[in-house]
Amino acid sequence: MNKIKIKLKKNNKGFTLVEMIIVLVILAILAAILIPALLGYIDEAKSKQEVLNAKNCMNMIQAKLTELYAQNGDKLVVGTAEGNTIVGKDNVKKIQRPYNNMYVVNATDKAWIMEILNKLDLKIGDTPNVDTDPYCIIFGVGSNENNKTKASLHDKYTICFFFYMEQKDSNPIWYFNGEWRTNRPTNDEINEQTGEIKVGDKNGMKMQYYIVCNKVKKTNNPTVGMAGGSSEFMKWYYSLK
């Protein structure tokens, strides 16, 4: 009986230091394998959500453009003045030539786009450039500049280009030539100097870009930032890959 007690007592001893070190090493190896995979799953889920937000945002902007077409399509006058834009004079801050011969319309912080962002739960309140705004949104439709742009009236109200960047550190997302992608269209696809499409069924059509959401503080001087449509803003955009 005493021998049995002694044996049980010996078997109740804890882990040795060597055994504990082995266990810790195994746990460290598992963590090294699993944590990157877990972080990758989180990044992938975040990326998929941002793509979904981009698609929803584009669809809602297209719905607004369709509404504007129904209201003003037959009244649209060809030209580059503020009143000739498809969103109307009251929805445009200014038009500039930030990149050679390509016009960019700055329509940021206007009621119609903030309404869309609010519906997407990507913006809170009516204050422009709040932290919950997406970092940047640009869309392109057929140009209304003149009759040589090969853009029909329908083209001028139809999105053929879309750029979306949810946060400063987000991967940029583009929609072009009927598909979503993670790389900026090259100069072989869109003439960066004129905005002319060079591929697909819209080959030869010139685009008009509209900036509907852009963060300030994209320069080294955070007190200045960049106005949507400025040359510095477009230089930042063309630096993206």
Does residue 132 fall inside a structural domain?
A: yes
Q: Is residue 173 one of the residues assigned to a domain? A: yes
Mean pLDDT of 52-67: 90
Please tell me the number of Cα atoms within 13 Å of 185 on its side-chain side: 24
Residue 60 lies in a domain: yes
If one counts the domains in the chain, the total is 1
Listed ranges 89-103, 116-130, 140-154; the one with the highest mean pLDDT: 140-154
Residue 157 resides in a domain: yes
Maximum average pLDDT range among 7-21, 75-89, 167-181, 209-223: 167-181
The pLDDT score that the predictor gives to residue 217 is 47
Average pLDDT over residues 134-152: 87
User: Is residue 113 assigned to a domain?
Assistant: yes
The C-alpha atoms of residue 64 and residue 69 are separated, in whole angstroms, by: 9
Q: What is the pLDDT of residue 238?
A: 80
Any domain includes 20: no
- Tokens (6 digits) for 23: 């266990």
Share of the chain above pLDDT 70, in %: 69
The pTM of the full predicted model, rounded to 2 decimals, is: 0.75
Distance CA 153, CA 168 (A): 35
Burial 110-135 (b: 16+ CB within 10 A, else e): bebbbebbeeeebbeeeeeeeeebbb
Residue 229 inside a domain? The answer is yes
89 lies in some domain: yes
Structural domain harbouring 188: 56-238
